[in-house]
A and B are shown apart, each in its own frame.
Chain A
Amino acid sequence: MHMKLVTLSWKNIWRNPLRSGIVTAAVAFGLMSGVFSVAFMNGMGIQSVSAVISRQTAHIQLHDSAFVTEPLPGRLLQPADSVIAMAKSFTAVKAVASRISVTAMATSAKTAVGVTVKGVIPEDERRISKLPDDIVEGTYFGVTRKNCAVIGRKLADKLGIRLNSKIVLTTQDINGELTGGAFKVVGIFETINSMFDESTVFVKKKDVAGLIGVPAEDVHEVALLCTRKQVVDSVAGVLQSAFPAVSVQTWNEIVPEIGMMESLMNQMSVVFVLVILIALSFGIVNTMLMAVLERRREFGMLMAVGMSSGRIFSMVLIETVMLSLSGGVIGMATGGLVVLMTNKTGVNLGMLGTGLKAIGYDPMVYPFIGTFLFSGISGMVVATAILAALYPALKAVALNPADAVRSDT
């Protein structure tokens, strides 16, 4: 009887093809939108994190403990060679870069701006950062001259300078004395984070080392890029154990707001889907209640001839679940397809571009939804279908067969 009940339930759904079709379409559309929205927000979060890791923080940074709270030039990372050697020995670490980092004033003829100067070794940076890909004018240290700088487009605009212009970087040396130097802008970059573009200047490590009076081998910061995000915490843990006096920070600790935003966006998207499902479930309950009331006489007959209330309950339950899942499956499938397509093409938020860049989000979003999230949403659909089925099914079995069998409907 079980298979027959399923077949009967399926046939019952399509007694009123228009009504069932509308409900199915509504569920499908709602879910397609939900899946796409989740993927969109998820994609934004992933891109944001990826951008921060690939351009700003890498996966892990090591500093002198005191440098983290007060980044003075004299707070050099010790023992830098040992830290670098150990980091390079890990198979889970893809690339290592050492940097000097100082705060400075960048001055042009027009104005002066407070910046962070990162002294880098360009060959190492190319392995750890995608910033060289963001060069829009000039090169990423493609010249051999001394005292060259790579700055962001936003900073260049603020300083009122162009490629090959000179800026003066003024900072403190290791003894606390004011020092400065003129740097030629050989490259201009533009990332999705306009705040970063406005506040960071890259120069060669040996040039800024000379400026602040430390040997070229000295280091304030060692940055690590791991093979995958999942190993970051364990690598950081091992390094911290090996060098307890050193501050070892993961990207999540350096920019916790980014991780929190990603997590928040995921939670919000789940809530969003839940709201869609609750709204859709009202429609489903309404449709099935109408169907139960329209079939009072039929249910009365079924009870009269000896169909148990358990079977009637199951039949209505199966009908409701099937109706919900018809739309659910179509919605999930089309949503998944739309996500696959837009993941390739991207979704250009164009008009919102400037605003998004200001908070570190790429206006070109590539929606993405992983298996876990997709399965989670599918589970929510099934759960909603079952819950939506309960009330109509209970109404059906609550009918009095003697009255129902003689009713007008």
Chain B
Amino acid sequence: MSIVTLNEVTKTFDGAGVPVKAVRGISLTIEKGEFTAIVGPSGSGKTTLLNMVGGLDVPTSGTIIINGTDITALKPHARTKFRLSNIGFVFQAYNLIPVLTAYENTGFIMELQGAERDARDKRVRQLLGEVGLGERMQSRPSQLSGGQQQRVAVARALASRPRFILADEPTANLDSHSTETLLDIMEKLNREEEVTFLFSTHDARVVKKARRIVTVEDGKVVSDETVAK
């Protein structure tokens, strides 16, 4: 079942009067349960592509359908609302709210969605337990290591039950051990709960875990491999 479908998506930026084609006619489909890495050198258009898939930017042309909705046709306010219910984000720099505890950060998006307190509490506790932070719920980000913070970010992204998780260089700021732990957790969630992950990464360890590798260069998909596991 397709979660994300890109049809001839292009993105051109006007850089000081000179148009720059960051993405050139990419068509791509992401199925439910995929564990896909999008790789490519700096300047390949990878980040721009992910911004559009995440609804943070709109293509110059082409369409992006997520779970049956053409997000390119949505107005900014509607796209924001769509992201709230459909897309989970894990960022390179964790981006936790520093004044909130791990528990509060994890439940934050559910609060934005207006979830009931009891349901929210149950889900947050379950997810923090799954990422191995059941004992650290009341810790603030400053009291957690980088790896622990990223695990809270994963829990937060999952809390709202999105269609897929967009992880932008999630291991870039982590040491090897934390990276392994994080990837193991994500893999487990993907395998056991069919959570769809779409990574943007330079990290070979992430690529090694991925079951599909899409390579982007000069704004185009140059290879799209499914890796047998």
- Please determine whether chains A and B interact with each other in the same assembly: yes
| Inter-chain contact B114/A1, CB cutoff 8 Å | yes
| Inter-chain contact B77/A304, CB cutoff 8 Å | no
- Given A304-B56, A304-B89, the answer on whether A1 and B111 have CB atoms closer than 8 Å is yes
**Nearest A residue to B107, CB-CB:** A4
| Inter-chain contact B54/A297, CB cutoff 8 Å | no
| Inter-chain contact A308/B81, CB cutoff 8 Å | yes
Interface residues on B, range: 20 to 34
Q: Complex: how many Å from CA A405 to CA B89?
A: 11
- Given A304-B83, A402-B51, A405-B95, the answer on whether A11 and B114 have CB atoms closer than 8 Å is no
- Given A304-B83, A306-B84, A308-B81, the answer on whether A405 and B99 have CB atoms closer than 8 Å is no
**Nearest B residue to A311, CB-CB:** B112
Q: Complex: how many Å from CA A248 to CA B174?
A: 90
Interface string of B38-60 (1 = CB under 8 A from A): 00000000010001001011000
Give residues 178-216 of A contacting B (CB, 8 Å): none
Interface residues on A, range: 20 to 34
In the complex, B30 has a CB within 8 A of chain A = no
In the complex, A330 has a CB within 8 A of chain B = no
In the complex, A309 has a CB within 8 A of chain B = yes
Give residues 2-53 of A contacting B (CB, 8 Å): 4, 8, 11-12, 14-15
| Inter-chain contact A305/B77, CB cutoff 8 Å | no
| Inter-chain contact A301/B114, CB cutoff 8 Å | no
| Inter-chain contact A8/B84, CB cutoff 8 Å | no
Q: Which of B54, B81, B93 contacts A304 (CB 8 A)?
A: B54
Q: Complex: how many Å from CA A151 to CA B98?
A: 76
- Given A8-B99, A304-B83, A309-B77, the answer on whether A402 and B56 have CB atoms closer than 8 Å is yes
Q: Which residues of B contact A14 (CB under 8 A)?
A: 99
Where the two chains meet, the residues of B that have a C-beta atom closer than 8 Å to any C-beta of A are 47, 51, 54, 56-57, 76-77, 80-85, 87-89, 91-93, 95, 97-100, 108-109, 111-112, 114, 156, 168
Further pairs besides A12-B99, A306-B112, A308-B80: 13, Cβ < 8 Å:
A1-B111, A15-B98, A300-B95, A301-B91, A304-B89, A305-B83, A305-B108, A306-B87, A306-B109, A307-B84, A308-B81, A406-B92, A406-B168
- Can you list 9 A-B pairs, Cβ within 8 angstroms, ordered by A? A8-B97, A8-B99, A11-B99, A298-B97, A301-B91, A305-B89, A305-B109, A307-B84, A309-B77
- In the A-B complex, the 6 residue pairs with the smallest Cβ-Cβ separation, listed nearest first, are A306-B84, A11-B99, A301-B95, A402-B56, A402-B51, A306-B83
